[in-house]
Structure 1
Amino acid sequence: MTILVTGATGTVGRHVVDTLLQAGQRVRALTRNPAAAGLPEGVEVVAGDLADPATLNAAFDGVTGVHLINFSGDDYTPLQSGKEIVELAVQSGVRRVTVLGGRADGPLEQALAASDLEWTLLNPVEFMSNTLKWWAETIRAEGVIREPFGGRLSAMIHEADIAAVAATVLVEGGHGGKTYTLTGPEAMTTTEKVRILGAAVGKEIGFVELSEEQARAKWRGEGMGDELVEFLIDALGNTPELGYTVVSTVREITGRAPRTFAQWAAENADAFR
């Protein structure tokens, strides 16, 4: 069967593509810019935009499984075209759908719930790859991390493990109507993460714990708006229990243990040097 991967050039999508290829599946990748996709040989790359269902007919033609994301564009705006996407999937003969989500259910999730498709919602907690986004430049330049809430716990997950769950569900089936929270194998504090990353990079990385007001001033100075600043203060200072409670979903679905942050750090150490 052919499986369509949307968000195929993203953090998780690239791993979904790779994992499906390794499993011997035919993969079609959706991207807004095929010329810049840089996807592996053997992947059929098609142009389209989830926010514009009129561009998706060729992408859905002949596919039996689809990996969807529930946002559109680089600003992660919630997808509003869910009803049209689900209608197209049904008309095209799609049987199984996975959705990379995490927010409250939107139009896509609601349309899937009302359909006869075999859908599965995947809600990962914090990505390990967020470490690259937030810390890599500072560590390379200064060797120091300045953040609030050094004792904050997070059960971070490796993006490849999210992809492994999605690929397994799409290929094997049997998870219709399920919503899964996905975590890594351990909950760790911010300071523990700094220590593990330093060991992988081969140098000690300093940690300066900021007060909430110091963090607000730092982030505003970096160009963040007030809404994002307050979101970060709340998300980091009041991480919900779901975000630091380890669950066994990755092992139960894929048959192997999820990757540790130490493994992720070793794989990505060069980006912090």
Structure 2
Amino acid sequence: MILVTGATGHVGRPLVDLLLEAGAGVRALTRNPELARLPEGVEVARTDELPMKGIESVFFVLAAFPDGPAEVIRRAREHGVRRIVALSSYSARDDDPKNSIAVRHRDLERQIEESGLEWTALQPAGGLAVTALEWSRPIRTTGVVRGPFARAHSAPVHEQDIAELAARALLTDELLGAKPMFSGPESITYADRARLIGEAIGKPVRFEEISHDETRREMAEVGVPPAAVEARLRMFAALVDRPHEISPVEPYLGRPARGFAEWAADHIADFT
């Protein structure tokens, strides 16, 4: 049986479906089991209970355990779990101690590597397409989205591609001890993201660039830690007018990555 943490999240939810389709037993962790709405046949448990009995493999996300994987690893060892597959980030390859995002993911990878379990660390690069869901309300109400770097490039990854790669790491031995890095198939700017969403929903969407100070204020209002804000500002400033390097997913999935236009079409309901 496979334990999926963050089972109702953007990656966890499609991963649950893929594992069920493959015939695997799934125990899904969520903070609110009564609201999970997971498919029939899935065992649903509370995240804070962390039931490990009978589990062979674990899919781990920091969003579900923001303090890191230590407790999950400890319980996994106690119950004879064989494998852990973690959603990390390509930022883990950045050794800058000021990059708080990189520091967290490097620590995550270090802990799973030292766990004594079989492991895989997935490193999506180029940003996650689902971050555009932060724009859902302004797109519905005004058709204008705001951010600091209209011309910053990224190669956003569709969450379904991450879920498919996680399923492969959990169900086969192909990625043992690996840190596959993969991006979306194209480098696009944040202004392009807005335009592509507009094309998908049939309504013009415009990106309005704002200052760093405005960005700091707005992120603080939604609870983003100051260190994370500064890390994001530094990272995105370096991407202005610089096309993002593409890291193909074909070697792992045997097909091209899904592009942002496809992602926008898959999420029309979120923006209308």
**TM-score normalised to structure 1 length:** 0.83
Q: What CA distance in whole angstroms lies between the structure 1 residues aligned with 2:112 and 2:218?
A: 42
2:138 is aligned to: 138
Q: What CA distance in whole angstroms lies between the structure 2 residues aligned with 1:222 and 1:68?
A: 25
Distance 1:111 1:228, change over 3 A: closer
What is the identity, as a one-letter code, of the residue corresponding to 2:62? N
Q: What CA distance in whole angstroms lies between the structure 2 residues aligned with 1:225 and 1:62?
A: 37
* SS of equivalent residue, structure 1 residue 4: strand
2:15 is aligned to: 16
2:87 is aligned to: 100
Distance 1:213 1:111, change over 3 A: closer
Q: CA RMSD in A?
A: 2.7
Distance 1:64 1:78, change over 3 A: same
Q: What CA distance in whole angstroms lies between the structure 2 residues aligned with 1:251 and 1:175?
A: 14
What is the identity, as a one-letter code, of the residue corresponding to 1:96? R
2:246 is aligned to: 246
Q: What CA distance in whole angstroms lies between the structure 1 residues aligned with 2:247 and 2:106?
A: 24
**TM-score normalised to structure 2 length:** 0.83
* SS of equivalent residue, structure 1 residue 129: helix
* SS of equivalent residue, structure 1 residue 60: coil
Q: What CA distance in whole angstroms lies between the structure 2 residues aligned with 1:220 and 1:91?
A: 40
Q: What CA distance in whole angstroms lies between the structure 1 residues aligned with 2:12 and 2:57?
A: 14
* SS of equivalent residue, structure 1 residue 88: helix
Specify every segment of 5 or more residues in structure 2 that has no aligned partner in the other structure, as ranges: 90-101
Deviations 1:16-49 (A, max 9, x none): 1111112221111112322121111111112232
Distance 1:146 1:179, change over 3 A: same
2:58 is aligned to: 66
1:52 is aligned to: none
Deviations 1:230-258 (A, max 9, x none): 34432322349x9932112x322222221
Q: What CA distance in whole angstroms lies between the structure 2 residues aligned with 1:221 and 1:157?
A: 27
- Within 5 Å, give how 1:1-273 maps onto structure 2: 2-49=1-48, 55-56=49-50, 59-72=51-64, 77-79=66-68, 82=70, 84-102=71-89, 103-104=102-103, 105=105, 108-125=108-125, 126-133=127-134, 135-216=135-216, 227=227, 229-239=229-239, 244-248=244-248, 250-273=249-272
Task: Name the count of aligned residue pairs.
Answer: 257
Deviations 1:76-126 (A, max 9, x none): x331x51x4323323323222200123435665334322432100112231
Distance 1:221 1:166, change over 3 A: closer
2:97 is aligned to: none
* SS of equivalent residue, structure 2 residue 81: coil
* SS of equivalent residue, structure 2 residue 180: strand
Distance 1:87 1:216, change over 3 A: closer
